[in-house]
């Protein structure tokens, strides 16, 4: 899961007349580790908000479980890093959630969309978000017991948003770019400010739009692997009770359950 601008801080400055507001002291960082011994360097000021979100989302999961639904976690890149556009990624996340729930039956399955469920204070970092999501995914017992499966969003999922057909996909994406720039003032503003280019947009959504290029999703893949490793070694779980993992709509092969990937935001604070 990558989240809104996860690897960057948001800054704001204001001035009145000739007065300049004093700069705030830099936020204190602290190392926070989870039950799986995954550690992140988080903003200490956000710890209370993180804990409150963990409690709130666990209650959401319990409520959906109480309705008889299977619970899935949807890992999807939301950050614009690499050439994407955050609002579009949010739209694709909502579309993907609805489509996955429709696939399994909306009365029988419920997908947790991290972009819609876990907002933290402005300026929260990727590490803040990933500490929160890792703790939620682990569950109270550290076995991922609040979830029934993982769904990692892939290029086909993104392609549906643009109605890509496998013929002239770059051209289709460029046409979407032009149309959105003509009708969406915020999109046009991002283009005018150089934050978004047609070349980068085309290459991102035509080639890279996938969890494969997401810091947060890399961490979430490793979390799924660690949870299943623990389950395989537990007498009350075993291989038959691993958490199913899907990528781009398809179940992964057996070996992928044991394969790790490069870390994203994982890491202790360096003093």
Question: Does residue 223 sit within a domain?
Answer: yes
Residue ranges of alpha helices (H) inside the chain are 47-66, 86-104, 114-117, 126-138, 155-162, 169-183, 185-192, 198-203, 215-232
User: Mapping DSSP to helix (H, G, I), strand (E, B) and coil, where does residue 151 land?
Assistant: strand
User: Mapping DSSP to helix (H, G, I), strand (E, B) and coil, where does residue 190 land?
Assistant: helix
Number of structural domains the chain divides into: 1
pLDDT of residue 221 exceeding 60, the answer is: yes
pLDDT of residue 13 exceeding 80, the answer is: no
Question: Does residue 8 sit within a domain?
Answer: no
Question: Does residue 173 sit within a domain?
Answer: no
Calculate what percentage of the chain has a pLDDT beyond 70. 90
pLDDT of residue 22 exceeding 60, the answer is: no
Strand 70-75 versus strand 149-152 pairing type: parallel
pLDDT, tens only, 226-240: 999 999 999 999 999
Look up the pTM and report it: 0.87
- 11 or 141: which leads in pLDDT: 141
> What pLDDT score does 9 carry?
34
Residue ranges of alpha helices (H) inside 118-254 are 126-138, 155-162, 169-183, 185-192, 198-203, 215-232
Domain that holds residue 54: 27-154+210-258
Question: Does residue 220 sit within a domain?
Answer: yes
Question: Does residue 266 sit within a domain?
Answer: no
pLDDT, tens only, 76-115: 998 888 999 999 999 999 999 999 999 999 999 999 998 8
Rounded Cα gap, residues 22 and 169, in angstroms: 50
Question: Does residue 131 sit within a domain?
Answer: yes
Report whether 41 contacts 28 (CB < 8 A): no
Calculate what percentage of the chain has a pLDDT beyond 90. 79
Question: Does residue 230 sit within a domain?
Answer: yes
């Amino acid at each position: 899961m990558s989240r809104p601008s996860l690897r960057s801080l948001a800054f704001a400055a204001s001035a009145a007349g000739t007065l300049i507001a004093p700069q705030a002291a830099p936020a204190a960082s602290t190392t926070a580790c989870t039950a799986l011994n995954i550690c992140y360097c988080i903003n200490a000021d956000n710890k209370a908000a993180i804990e409150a979100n963990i409690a709130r989302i666990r209650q959401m999961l319990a409520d959906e479980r109480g309705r008889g639904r299977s619970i899935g976690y949807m890992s999807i890149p939301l950050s614009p890093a690499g050439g994407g556009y955050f609002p579009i990624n949010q739209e694709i996340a909502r579309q993907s959630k609805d489509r996955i729930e429709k696939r399994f039956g909306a009365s029988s399955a419920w997908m947790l969309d991290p972009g819609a469920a876990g907002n933290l204070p402005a300026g929260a970092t990727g590490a803040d978000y990933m500490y929160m999501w890792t703790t939620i995914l682990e569950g109270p017992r550290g076995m991922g017991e609040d979830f029934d499966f993982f769904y990692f969003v892939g290029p086909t999922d993104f392609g549906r948003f643009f109605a890509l057909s496998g013929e002239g996909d770059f051209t289709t994406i460029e046409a979407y770019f032009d149309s959105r720039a003509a009708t969406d003032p915020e999109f046009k503003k991002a283009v005018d400010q150089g934050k978004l280019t047609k070349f980068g947009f085309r290459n991102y959504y035509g080639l890279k739009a996938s969890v494969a290029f997401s810091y947060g999703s890399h961490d979430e893949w490793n979390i799924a692997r660690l949870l299943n490793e623990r389950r395989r070694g537990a007498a009350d779980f075993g291989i038959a009770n691993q958490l199913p993992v899907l990528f781009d709509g398809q179940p992964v092969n057996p070996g992928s359950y044991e394969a790790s990937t490069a870390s994203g935001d994982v890491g202790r604070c360096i003093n």
